[in-house]
């Protein structure tokens, strides 16, 4: 696919209102926009669809859950795979001025190291995959708060941006540190992300411990300390949450939902569901559908 090149630089004047150093939108990407750079920082999140992100001469495939941090001055443009209206590429864009980060660094001392990291003029662009859906929820809230402008919305926007930047900062630390040298919070963060992405398969404690380069006993102790739950309880909670969503939001059979949620044994699924939720799967579905 040929991309129209351009030296176009987007100015912050086109987006930021007086005393509001943040801009958030939800854009349907097309083939009309030229490659461009900008005078501000941009964090983008692919909310729906798939396509290609052309950035600094690279072509990066994107899909739902792909997130990019784009510093000032980096040339880029998104392109959908198709022009069909029923397969749109939809991206959340969160823009803020570099001065905003500098202000946060001086006023929010707890996040000064993080803000300093992102104001480094040599920081490259980077991307990650939102494996748990946590970033999607934050970008949805960013857009809602920015659009509604309810009382205190700027404080909410700042808190969400700090959470997103903290997650990105931790991600960069994780990928730059050898597995054996990673701090305990990092190994558990990775384990939790793996559980959220693979709860439907036969995840084993031994597998997660090996990935963390820890013994099963060490891993279990640290996991319990940081989550307040054992590995088994945590996994069952995630699986039950998934089962509840499917029971209330789809017409899939209970046996299908059991399998998708990670339970090959239907009787065991019923027993765990009743113990965790308090009713049978069928009773839960009927109650949700009556609302």
More confident: 100 or 177:
100
pLDDT at 262: 94
Percentage of the chain beyond pLDDT 90 is: 67
Residue 21: per-residue pLDDT: 92
Question: 43-47, 207-211, 256-260 — which is least confidently predicted?
Answer: 207-211
Q: How confident is the model at residue 159 (pLDDT cuts 50, 70, 90)?
A: very high
Same domain, 165 and 70: yes
Residues 35 and 154 in one domain: yes
Residue 61's domain comprises 9-175
**Secondary structure element (H or E) that encloses residue 62, with its range:** strand 58-63
Query: Is residue 2 in some structural domain?
Result: no
For the CA atoms of 81, 84, 87, 88, the dihedral, rounded to the nearest 10 degrees, stands at 80
User: pLDDT-based confidence at 244, cuts 50/70/90?
Assistant: very high
Same domain, 207 and 266: no
Q: How far apart are CA 239 and CA 199, in angstroms?
A: 6
Q: How many domains does the chain have?
A: 3
Residues 92 and 130 in one domain: yes
Among candidate residues 135, 130, 132, the one with its CA nearest the CA of residue 241: 132
Q: Determine contact, residues 75/37, Cβ cutoff 8 Å.
A: yes
Q: Please give the Cα distance from 269 to 239 (Å, whole number).
A: 10
CA dihedral 154, 159, 164, 170 (to 10 degrees): 150
What sign has the CA pseudo-torsion 200, 206, 210, 215?
Answer: positive
Same domain, 27 and 116: yes
Give the mean pLDDT of the chain: 90
In this structure, the answer to whether residues 183 and 170 fall within a common structural domain is no
pLDDT at 3: 45
Residue 33 DSSP SS3: coil
State yes or no: pLDDT of 222 exceeds 80. yes
> How does residue 186 score in pLDDT terms, banded at 50, 70 and 90?
confident
pLDDT at res. 176: 73
Q: What is the DSSP letter of 65?
A: T
Q: Is residue 181 a contact partner of residue 187, using CB atoms and an 8 Å limit?
A: no
- Tell which residue, 55, 264, 23, has the closest CA to residue 147: 23
Say whether both 108 and 219 belong to one domain.
no
Domain boundary among 175, 207, 241: 175
Contact 59, 52 (CB under 8 A): yes
Evaluate whether residue 252 is within a structural domain: yes
pLDDT tens, position by position, 42-86: 999 999 999 999 999 999 999 999 999 999 999 999 999 887 777
Residue 129 three-state SS: strand
Q: Is residue 200 part of a domain?
A: yes
CATH code at position 45: 2.60.120.280
Mean pLDDT of 179-200: 80
Q: Does residue 1 sit within a domain?
A: no
Residues 204 and 84 in one domain: no
Q: Where is 216: in which H helix or E strand? A: helix 216-227
- The answer, yes or no, to whether residue 182 has pLDDT greater than 70, is no
**What mean pLDDT is predicted for residues 195-216?**
89
Angle between helices 231-249 and 281-290 (to 10 degrees): 50
Asked whether residue 32 carries a pLDDT value surpassing 50, the answer given is yes
Is the pLDDT confidence value at 2 over 50?
no
* pLDDT for residue 180: 62
- Give residue 117's pLDDT: 92
Q: Taking the mean position of all CA atoms in its chain, how far away is CA 272?
A: 29
**26 occurs within a structural domain:** yes
Does 211 or 117 have the greater pLDDT score?
A: 117
Same domain, 220 and 99: no
Q: Is residue 105 part of a domain?
A: yes
Which CATH number goes with the domain that contains 270? 1.10.10.60
Q: Are residues 61 and 120 part of one domain?
A: yes
Is 187 a member of any domain? yes
Q: Say whether both 34 and 132 belong to one domain.
A: yes
Long-range contacts of 117-126 (CB under 8 A, 24+ apart): 117/169, 117/172, 118/41, 118/69, 118/71, 118/165, 118/168, 118/169, 121/71, 121/72, 123/71, 124/71, 125/55, 125/56, 125/68, 125/69, 125/70, 125/71, 125/74, 125/76, 126/68, 126/69, 126/168, 126/172
| 106 and 30 part of one domain | yes
Asked whether residue 130 is domain-assigned, the answer is yes
- Please give the average per-residue pLDDT across 111-115, as a whole number: 89
């Amino acid at each position: 696919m040929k991309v129209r090149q351009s030296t176009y630089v987007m100015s912050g004047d086109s987006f930021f209102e007086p005393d509001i150093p943040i801009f958030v939108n939800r854009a349907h990407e097309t083939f009309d926009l030229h490659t461009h750079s900008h005078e501000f920082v941009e964090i983008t999140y692919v909310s729906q669809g798939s396509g290609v992100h052309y950035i600094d001469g690279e072509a990066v495939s994107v899909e739902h859950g792909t997130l990019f941090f784009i510093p000032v001055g980096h040339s880029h443009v998104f392109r959908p795979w198709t022009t069909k209206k029923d397969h749109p590429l939809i991206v959340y864009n969160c823009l803020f001025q570099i001065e905003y980060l500098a202000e946060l660094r001086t006023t929010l001392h707890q996040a000064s190291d993080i803000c300093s990291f992102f104001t480094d003029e040599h920081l490259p662009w980077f991307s990650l995959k939102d494996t748990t859906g946590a970033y999607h929820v934050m970008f949805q809230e960013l857009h809602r708060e920015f659009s509604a402008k309810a009382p205190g919305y700027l404080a909410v926007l700042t808190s969400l941006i700090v959470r997103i930047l903290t997650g990105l900062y931790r991600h960069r630390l994780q990928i730059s540190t050898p597995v054996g040298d990673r701090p305990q919070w990092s190994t558990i963060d990775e384990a939790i992300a793996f559980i959220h992405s693979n709860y439907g398969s036969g995840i084993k404690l031994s597998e997660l411990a090996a990935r963390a380069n820890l013994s099963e006993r060490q891993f279990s102790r640290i996991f319990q300390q940081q989550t307040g739950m054992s590995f088994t309880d945590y996994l069952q909670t995630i699986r039950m949450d998934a089962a509840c969503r499917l029971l209330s939001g789809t017409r899939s059979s209970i046996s299908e939902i059991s399998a998708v949620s990670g339970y090959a044994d239907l009787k065991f699924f019923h027993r765990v569901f009743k113990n965790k939720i308090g009713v049978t799967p069928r009773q839960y579905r009927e109650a949700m559908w009556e609302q």
